[in-house]
Structure 1
Amino acid sequence: MTRALFGPDPLLARLSARVPGMMYACVLEADGRLHMPYVSDSVQRLYGLAPDTVRQDARLLLQRVHPHDLPALADAARHSARTGAPWHGRFRVHSDDGHWRWHEGQSQVERQTDGSAVWYGYIDDVTERLDHAELSQRLQRLQAAHQGLAGSLQRLAHELATPLVAVIGLVQLLLQHGELLARHIRERLERVLGAGQHMQTLVRDLGDLGALEGGHLAVHCAPLDLAAAAHEAHGLMQAVAVQRQLVLTVHTEGPCWVLADALRLRQVLLNLLGNAFKFTPAGGQVRLQLSAGASHATLAVHDSGPGMDAAQLAQLFVPFARLGAERRGIEGSGLGLALCRGLVEAMGGRIGVQSAPGQGTTLVVDLPRTLPPGVADASAGDAATAAPALNPPDRSPAPPAAAPLPAAHPPARPAQRAPA
C-alpha cells in the first residue's frame, strides 16, 4: 500500500478538526498487519492514544475495547473484507477515567489488488445518546404502567362502590327503626355506618385520583363567586368544627369571581378544611381567608396546628403519604391533598403550602379571575354592537351584528396534571 495515497491534506485536516468524532483510514494488510495511515487527532480524546502511535499499529485501539465486544467486531470486519459490504459496529471502550463508554463506527471498504483491504470511516462516542434513548424508553414504560395503574384504581373504586352503597343503605334503614333495637346493637350499627361512610369517601377519592392520573376526569369551569363558595364551605363544616372544639372563621371582602368547577371546588375546600381539623388540637383555630389580585384570587386555609418541617412538606402532596399521622392516631388515607392538587390544577389554578414547626399550616388555592356572568354578557354584547361601526358607512354594507357571547361555560375537558 503506497503511502502517497494517505499523504498530508490541509483541507482534510481542517475538516476532521471540526467534527466531534474520529475520521480514519484503516488498512488490513494481506499478512495480517493492521495500521491506520490516516487518523484524526480525536483519537487522543476517544482512546487516549497519540495519532502517530495508532498509525503504526491500530491493534492498540482494540486493547481498549471490552473483551466481550471483540468477537463481534472481528466477525463484522472479516465479513466486510470478504464481501465488500460496509462495516458498522457498536462497542464499549475503556476510557481514561475508568468508565466504559459506548463507541459507534461505520465505514466503507475498498479491497486492493495486493490482497489488502482499506476502510474509510468514522467513529464517535455515543454514550450520552444511548443513555438518553434508554431513559426515554424507561419513561415510556413508566408512563404506560402509570396509565395502567390509574385505570386499575378507577376499576377498583367502581367495584367497591356498589356493595358499599348497599351496606350503608341497609345500616341506615336499620337505624331508622333504632327504637326497636337494643342499645348495644344500635351503637355497633352506628360504628359500622361511620366506617362504611369513611370507606365510601376513600373509594370516591381513589376513583377521582385514578381519573385525574389517567386524564379522564371531566372538569366544567364557569364563572363562580369564590366568596360565596368560601361561606358555603364554612356553613357545611361549622358543625364539625364545634364538635371538635375548634373556632372556624371566614374572611372575605365581597364577591370575587373566578373560573372554577363548582362541584370540584367544593370538594377541594371541604377536603382542605377537614385536613386542617384533623391536625388542629381542641381549642385551636381554622381560618378561611380570601384575597383578590388583578388576575388571580387566593383562598387560604390557615390552621393553628403543630406545623410541618421541610421533610414533611416535601411529601405533602404525595398520594398515601401520611407524614406520621398514623402514629398519632389521626384518621385518613393520605389521598386528600394529592387529590386537591390535581383538581385545582385541572381548573387552571395552583395550590401551595406555607408551614413551619410550631407555626401552623396555610394551604393556598390560587384560581384565575373572571367577570361575573352578567358583566361578561354585557361586555360581549357591547363589543358586538360596536364592531359594525368600524366599517365605512358609505361604501359596502355593514356586516350583520354578532350575537352577544354567552357566559363562559366551556365544555368539559379532561384534567391534565402539571409537573410537581
Structure 2
Amino acid sequence: MRPETVGIAGIVLMLVFMFGGMWVGLAMALVGFAGCVFLGGMDKALLMLGGTVYHTLSSYTLTVIPMFVLMSTFIARIGISSDLFAAAHKWLGHIRGGIAIATIFACAIFAAICGSSFAETLAIAKVALPEMRKRGYSEALSCGCVACGGTLGILIPPSLGFVAYAMLTEQSVGHLFMAGVLPGILLSALFIVCIMVISYIDPKAAPPGEKTPFREKILSLRLTGPALILILLVLGGIYVGIFTPTEAGAIGVCGAFFIALVSKRFTWQNFVESLWDTVQTTGSIIVLLVGAYVFSKFMNLSNLPNVMCDFIGGLAISKYMVFAVVVIIYLIIGMFMDILSAIVVTVPIIYPVMVSLGFDPIWFGVIVVLLMEAGLVTPPVGMNVFVLSSSTSTPMNTIFRGVWPFVAAIVLCIVILALFPQIALFLPSHM
C-alpha cells in the first residue's frame, strides 16, 4: 500500500474515532502511532512517541499556556467583566443600541485578559443580558451580540488558539498575538456597525436608555483602570520586546493576582478554584498538542502533505480558489468542533499546502482563528450558542436568529483581511 494511501486511511479512521466519541487528542495519538508503526516499524514508532512526548512537555513555549490561563481565571473570579460592562454602559447606554455596543466594548477589553471564548461569553452574559432585557431589547439581538462578542476571546490576544497554532507551525507566539490585535479591533468595529444598523432598521429592538451624569462616567473609569493597565503591560511588553510571551504571561499572573487581592473580592476558595481550573485546562491542551505532534509525524512519514502540495500546485486554478475551499472547510469544521481541537486536527494537513501556495503563515493563523469564530456561533452546534443557551435557558433558535448579522460581519472581516493582509501583518512586521 502506498504511504499516501495509508495517510488518507489514517485521516478517515481518526475522524471515525472522534465522531464516535473518543477524545480528540487520544484519537490523533492512537492513529498517528499506529500509522508510524505501519510505515516505519515498531522501534521507530516507539522512539518517535517518546521523543514527541518529551519535546512537547519540555517546550519552553508551552509554559505560556498555564500562565495566561491562570491570569484569566484570577481576573474572571473577581468580576472584572462586570466592571468593564458597567463603565461602558455609563458612557454608551443613552444612545440607541448603546447597551449592546457597550457589551461589545466590554467583550473586546475582557478578551485581552481572558483568551477563552466560552469563559468570556458566560462572564459577559451574566451582566449584559439582564440589563438589556430590563431595557426592552430584542432577545435575539441581546443574545446575538453576547454570543458573537464572546468569540473575540479567541482573536484578541492572549489567545490559546494562537499558542496552539504557533506550536504546531513553529511560528512566533508574540508575532501571532500582535497579528490578532488590529483584526480584533476591526471585527469589534464591524460588530458595532451591525448593532447600529439593526437599531436603525428596527428602533424597538434596541431602545435608548437614560443619560448618565458626566461625573459618574469619569468615576466609572476607575473600575476599568487596573484591567487596562494589565493589558498594556502584557501586550505592550511583548510588542516592544521587553519580554517574551512566556515572561509576559508570568508578569500577567502576578499583576492579575495583585489586582485580585486589592479588589478585596478574592477569597481562598477563589484561589484554589483558579489553580484547579488552570491544571484542568492546561492538561487537556497538552493532551491535544501531544496527539497533534504524533499525528503530524505520521503525516510526514506518509508524505501526504507533500503530495497534496504537488497536486494542488499542478492544478490550473488560482491560489485564491484553494483559499476559498479552505475557508469553507474550516467553516464546516468549526460548526462541530471547538477551536483547539479543530486547529490541532487540520493544521498539520492544511498548513503545508497554504504555505506552499505563498500565503503568509502568520496571516493564515489569523484567518484560521477568525473562521473558528464563525463556527462557534453557526448551526447545527455553535458551541458559544450552546453555552449561552444552557446558562440562560434561552432557546437556541432565538440565539441563532440573532447571530446571523454578526456572522456576516465575521465573513466581511475575513474578506477584508484577504484583500488587505497588512492589517494583520502591520504590527508583527514592526516588532
TM-score, reference length from structure 2:
0.20
* Higher RCO (C-alpha 8 Å, min separation 6): 2
Q: Highest Rg: 1 or 2?
A: 1
When you count strand as a share of all residues, which structure comes out higher? 1
| TM-score for both structures, normalised by structure 1 | 0.20
